[in-house]
Structure 1
Amino acid sequence: MALVPLDERPVNVELPIAIAAIAGADLVLPPDELMPDIRVPGQADAIGDWLAEVAPKVDAAVVSVDTLAFGGLIAARTTDDSVVTALSRLDRLRALKATAPDLPIAAVSLVMRATNSYNPQEEPLYWAEVGKELHRLGALHHRDFLVRAKALADDGNAAELQALRDSLDPAVIADFEQRRLRNHQVNLAMLGMAAERSVDPLLITADDTAEYAAGSLEQVWLGQWMTVLPTGGEVLMYPGADEVAAVLVARQLTCLSGVAATFAVACAEDDGLGRIAKYENSSIETAVARQLKASGARLVTDDDAEVLVIHAPDPHRRDFVHDKISFDEVDRLAADKTAKLIARLLGEGRRVALADLRYANGGDPLLVENLIANGLALKLSAYGGWNTAGNSLGSVVAAAAAAQIGRAMGTLDEGAARRMLIHRLLEDYAYQSVARPQLERRLDADYKTRKFEAEGLETSIETNMTAELTTLLHTIAPGATGVTNISFPWHRSFEINFVLTGVSA
């Protein structure tokens, strides 16, 4: 399969490669020199040329529209490319389908976010000064739209909206809203391509969602066009971003093999599936249904089906990045319930994939350490607990689905499946929930910043983290040798890349 990734980070490159490998498939990607490098956009036109060149040699394609149109995720928020330029690049998909009508092309396009922060690393530089105000502006415009549509009671929002607009530089507002309009036009164009089946499926996803936000309002407009347009290819819209390429790899494996993975869903807490996770705007039950559908999998109630176990979100919506989490008896009880559910299911001979959604940006140490202590962690078919609930759900479903497809086709790579499981346990639990909070406390104390700016600091962190993660790896998988090639692709602690050694089937 050909993959045009969302950007160069491991979750958008290494994760889809690993998902494909589980089923015995190979991914081909654009050359590194064409890809983005943090804020340096990828070479969008050359990536389009590459896709046209490899298309006759592959069985399917997965395309990130933000990369094809703008050169990557950050580029879609920061470049000055016109809508005419972006749409002309997207015409490559239409031309590709015309010349290779039997080539399955799956695509994902993002609704532009407006993060509630003053961090400009992934945004226009004015985010450092007015990022939170622009986030609030989108929320107020959304509410104003609903009031004018008589879908929400007038609560005096208009005065706050006008005051905020008056306080902001008109040039900044114009730049921000014109970027949103441009990207919205790209999404509308992709709906047209889905209607004519140039792509199928099309996923329109959004990260950092909120009940009221500029992106949430855009989803209302997009949803209306999804309803109005004649049925063509399948279109799904839901929260997500970095997991989507892995999900679409699983979807294309389903398309090519004719094998649809099946899952039953279980949660140890009675109200768990009805909760809404941090950074998302719909229930976990809805999120599960969307991720299964996006991957081509089916939800069943069969007594012998693989079980997708949901470790339900924390009602307090805590986050390993922003909160110093101390665990109480409620947390311990929740972890114990999920661990007992997994033990029972495994004891019945069921395959179990675990979506560890209790906390944002890291797995639940209480749960994972319970599973390790009882010899259950490595009996899972898949695990995920990173970043948002959507990220975790998508990666878990994709990995477990790829294994089911590979098993049915006789192409399952047991070693790849085991490496994927151990990698996610090590990254999502050991790094994100254990090692990274300790690292950030050291950075706060010694440097008063979490940026890797001091001379030699990043190299020192890589060396220390190699030792820390190797020690943690031995608790997860005692037979594994170690961790090598640790790096931080965006020169911050949020993303880490590494290679496992001594891991076999």
Structure 2
Amino acid sequence: MAAGAAASRPRIALLPLDDRPVNVLLPQDVARVGGYSLDVPPERILPSYRQPGDIAELAAWLRERALDPATTHLVVSLDMLCYGGLIASRISEDATTVALAQLDVLRRLKRERPGLVISAVSLVMRASNSYSAAEEPGYWTSYGKELHALGGAVHRLDASSDDVSLSELTDVPAEIVSDFARRRVRNHIVNLTALTLVDEGAIDFLAVTADDTATHSAGSAEQQWLRHWMRFLPAGDTVLMYPGADEVGAALVARAIAQTAGARPSVRVSCREPGGLDRTPPYENVPLSESINRQLRASGASLAEAHAEADAVLVVHAPDPERHDMFGGHPDRHDANAVERTAAAVREELGRGNAVAVADVRYPNGADAELVRALGRAGALGELIAFGGWNTAGNTLGGVIATTVAALVGRGASDRDARRARSAVRQALLTRLLDDYAYQAVVRSEDGPALFPDHLPVADDEVVARAERAIADRLRDTLRDELPGEDWTLTSLRLPWRRSFEVELTLEPSER
């Protein structure tokens, strides 16, 4: 890995996708692992669940950070800049012109500070295959699955010249379809305009990502249209498009860290599951191997050839071929052979003295508990530089790869900074193990129905407080009894959106 030592640590500013821990705290963990400072907006101007952030104040904050000479990189979620957050991008009534005016903020900043590096991410709007309106317009409770199916039906017609009326495709009322379609048009225009900002030079790097998609869907069709313009525009070949959402802020922070350090880490991928990298994970639309390659590039790393020397090895626990989900469709058995193959790969790579990270993409919505336990029995958990297994394959890969890239940069720092980086690596590792394994795979799967009587965000404060106490107690037991966290203490835990899907953890070194 070629790297140059920075005379001083410049600052990176992040405008996150929303206020959840994975979008605010994970990028900060990545920055600490690399030995860098990360600025994020104050909580008061960020969104809070379905309440959007203040786009005027967010733009003002971004401008303030951009004009600070110490800031060398901006990492910008266009969904936050244009709409006030992820959910706002799906439910807000803002006109297309309002969103486009927010993109002009980036043009102005680039004119004022041409040397400022601006990396951005923009999402292709999802169409959840569910009847949950928790993160969607209210009509999703009645028509969500039908709208998802409609997107797939229209996509299949793309190569046809036949005239097909809407009534032939769906029974959803026209006014509902119209509202859904207009929102998609608005967001698609923003994505197209983002491509032109790359071609203008106002954005230095753009990732276009999509979550909860399928091979045939409204989002997949829009990705094809975007790819057309990526091929047409001279700078379009620098844009990356791949499955993901919540992890991209962390990936682009890692990219900024690597660029600042003059580093391009090389990562070799190891997957012992036959054909595992060729599988398309649930909720995604491309094979795992493509996602890994693009996630590495987005994070500022390169993919090393099989068996080649590399700065780190990413061991991948491949997707379950039966496409089980850890939560809501908990697999009734674990594949002991798959677990042993992955655990053996980790042991062998560590035995060769390699830096090893593990991307557990076996199941969405939680790590494979048997894999974590197998690695624990082998004494391998504490030797990893990164671990992830919390959500979709794209979300997991982005977090693991970003942390890996930052850790490799941190190792090249001065002795004092390297010691801090090692401590940050352990903190980030334990945070993911507590969240992805102890909470998502164990507590949420086993105790979720008892702790969370309501499917939607819990209204009763006492129920929330009781759940937070119970979860914290279970995680403290796990940290003490199963994980290599003898020098760390879980100091706080909360449910930021008052639901079971995510927890916010705080770990601090234990007093001696």
Percent of aligned positions that are identical:
43
d(CA) in 1 for partners of 2:324 and 2:454? Answer: 23
Q: 1:162 aligns with which of 167, 170, 184?
A: 167
d(CA) in 2 for partners of 1:84 and 1:233? Answer: 27
Q: 2:67 aligns with which of 53, 56, 76?
A: 56
Q: Which amino acid is the alignment partner of residue 266 of structure 1?
A: S
Tell me the equivalent position of 2:326. 320
Query: In the TM superposition, what are the counterparts of 1:439-478 in structure 2 within 5 Å?
Result: 439-443=447-451, 447=453, 449=455, 451-454=457-460, 456-474=462-480, 475-478=482-485
Query: In the TM superposition, what are the counterparts of 1:39-438 in structure 2 within 5 Å?
Result: 39-57=50-68, 58-148=71-161, 162-165=167-170, 167-231=171-235, 234-301=238-305, 302-303=308-309, 305-328=311-334, 331-410=335-414, 411-412=417-418, 413-438=421-446
Give the direction of change, closer, same or farther, for the CA distance of 1:334–1:215 in structure 2 (3 Å limit). Answer: same
- Is 2:24 aligned against 1:18? no
Coordinate RMSD, CA, aligned: 1.8
Unaligned runs of 5+ in 1: 150-156
Q: Greater shift after overlay, 293-302 or 68-77?
A: 293-302
Q: CA deviation at 1:146?
A: 2.8
Q: TM-score, normalised by structure 2?
A: 0.93
Q: C-alpha offsets along residues 244-292 of structure 1, whole Å, 9 cap, x if unaligned?
A: 0000001111221110111111111121111111111111111110101
Asked if the contact 1:473/1:480 (under 8 Å) is kept, the reply is no
d(CA) in 2 for partners of 1:197 and 1:145? Answer: 32
Give the direction of change, closer, same or farther, for the CA distance of 1:203–1:491 in structure 2 (3 Å limit). Answer: same
Q: CA deviation at 1:59?
A: 1.3
Asked if the contact 1:199/1:233 (under 8 Å) is kept, the reply is no
Asked if the contact 2:266/2:310 (under 8 Å) is kept, the reply is no
Tell me the equivalent position of 1:488. 495
SS in structure 2 of the partner of residue 42 of structure 1: coil
Asked if the contact 1:381/1:400 (under 8 Å) is kept, the reply is yes
Q: Which amino acid is the alignment partner of residue 188 of structure 2?
A: H
Q: CA deviation at 1:477?
A: 2.1
Q: Which amino acid is the alignment partner of residue 18 of structure 2?
A: D
Which runs of at least 4 in structure 1 moved beyond 4 Å after TM superposition? 448-451
Give the direction of change, closer, same or farther, for the CA distance of 1:65–1:449 in structure 2 (3 Å limit). Answer: closer
Q: CA deviation at 1:342?
A: 0.8
SS in structure 1 of the partner of residue 316 of structure 2: strand
d(CA) in 2 for partners of 1:24 and 1:255? Answer: 13
d(CA) in 2 for partners of 1:201 and 1:20? Answer: 19
d(CA) in 1 for partners of 2:478 and 2:413? Answer: 35
Tell me the equivalent position of 2:504. 497
Q: Which amino acid is the alignment partner of residue 97 of structure 1?
A: K
Give the direction of change, closer, same or farther, for the CA distance of 1:189–1:503 in structure 2 (3 Å limit). Answer: farther
Q: CA deviation at 1:232?
A: 6.2
Asked if the contact 1:196/1:233 (under 8 Å) is kept, the reply is no
d(CA) in 2 for partners of 1:115 and 1:228? Answer: 30
d(CA) in 1 for partners of 2:252 and 2:359? Answer: 18
Q: TM-score, normalised by structure 1?
A: 0.94
Asked if the contact 1:133/1:164 (under 8 Å) is kept, the reply is no
Give the direction of change, closer, same or farther, for the CA distance of 1:443–1:163 in structure 2 (3 Å limit). Answer: farther
SS in structure 1 of the partner of residue 363 of structure 2: coil
Tell me the equivalent position of 2:9. none
Asked if the contact 1:195/1:233 (under 8 Å) is kept, the reply is no
Q: Which amino acid is the alignment partner of residue 509 of structure 2?
A: G
d(CA) in 2 for partners of 1:491 and 1:380? Answer: 32
d(CA) in 2 for partners of 1:481 and 1:50? Answer: 34
Tell me the equivalent position of 2:42. 31
Q: CA deviation at 1:125?
A: 0.8
Q: Greater shift after overlay, 408-417 or 355-364?
A: 408-417
Q: CA deviation at 1:320?
A: 1.3
Q: CA deviation at 1:405?
A: 1.2
